[in-house]
Amino acid sequence: MNALSLELPHDINPKTVPQHVALIMDGNGRWAKQKGKMRIAGHKEGVEAAKRVVKALSTAGVKYVTLYAFSTENWKRPALEVSGLMDLLMLTLKRELKGFMKEGFILRTIGDIEQLPSSTRDAVKEVVYQTNENTGMVINVALSYGGRWEIVETTKELVRKAVNGEMDLQHIDENTFSQHLQTSGMPDPDLLIRSSGEKRLSNFLVWQSAYSEYVFDNAFWPDFNEHNVWNALRDFQGRKRRFGTSSDAS
């Protein structure tokens, strides 16, 4: 099957695919090491995997995809790897803009993008601006993102509003808190997928993933393709989400 004729397998029900899928794209470095390549070569292949996965999720009818591309903790990596990742991000966004317009994708970001080098930040802002009026799938990229950072920033904003008298303390609840997070307006992820066999959140969507279903896949991210996506969707559709209710509750 070539990339153009991607079809949702018949055993996946298009009516019950998750609305929002979040992905921790992990294992680029180990993939590269295994092949005797530089880490950045793994990141480059990781971009190809992200494109395959986005295409598969769009084919499945998923409305929101959040991709963990760079965490607040990833700034601790060697400068060469960080700058390589930032350049790769800039080039990828510039190259993919046309395709985003064709598919109707909307680019959004979460994270402290002011920390990014200006060339990368400008490319991000440009694609966010250009795709703003599209009506298709939302591709939300987490950049210099940390779940704890986001919760602290949200708390500061709510305290500021309370102190200024813009918001009543009694009116701060889980809903208002969610509405002040960077993911405001997006549903919480129904399904969270992590590649490379690691089974941890690594400071991703700490608040939003409270009731997500988790799928851990052993494949390194650069090897990810539509089949890994179909398997995760099958796994998701086989689960019973209870949200704390009794198992026989409707």
Specify whether 26 is catalytic. yes
Which of 74, 134, 225, 231 is labelled catalytic?
74
**Binding ligand IPE by CB under 6 A: which of 21, 69, 89, 139?**
69
- Binding-site string for ligand IPE from residue 19 to residue 38, where x marks contact by CB under 6 A and - marks none: -----xxxxxxx--------
Mark residue 89 as left, alpha or beta (left: phi above 0; alpha: psi -120 to 50; beta: remaining): alpha
The one of ligand IPE, Mg ion, none whose footprint includes residue 200, by CB under 5 to 8 A per kind, is ligand IPE
Q: Specify the stretch interacting with ligand IPE by CB under 6 A; choose among 57-65, 66-74, 151-159, 174-182.
A: 66-74
Q: Which of residues 101-130 bind ligand IPE (CB under 6 A)?
A: none
The one of Mg ion, ligand IPE, none whose footprint includes residue 68, by CB under 5 to 8 A per kind, is ligand IPE
68 binds ligand IPE (CB under 6 A): yes
Phi first, then psi: what are they for 191, rounded to 5°?
-130, 130
Query: Which residue ranges make up the site for Mg ion (CB under 5 A)?
Result: 26
* Cβ–Cβ < 8 Å for 22, 193: yes
Residue 170: exposure state from Cβ atoms within 10 A (0-12, 13-18, ≥19): exposed
User: What is the four-CA torsion angle of 186, 90, 86, 230, rounded to 10 degrees?
Assistant: 50
70 binds ligand IPE (CB under 6 A): yes
State the Cα–Cα distance between residues 208 and 126, nearest whole angstrom. 27
State the Cα–Cα distance between residues 114 and 121, nearest whole angstrom. 7
For the beta sheet containing 138-145, the strands, ordered from the edge strand earlier in sequence to the opposite edge, are 106-110, 138-145, 64-71, 20-24, 191-194, 213-216
149 binds ligand IPE (CB under 6 A): no
Specify whether 74 is catalytic. yes
Which residues here bind ligand IPE, judged by CB under 6 A? 24-30, 68-71, 74, 85, 196, 198, 200, 202
Active site residues: 26, 74
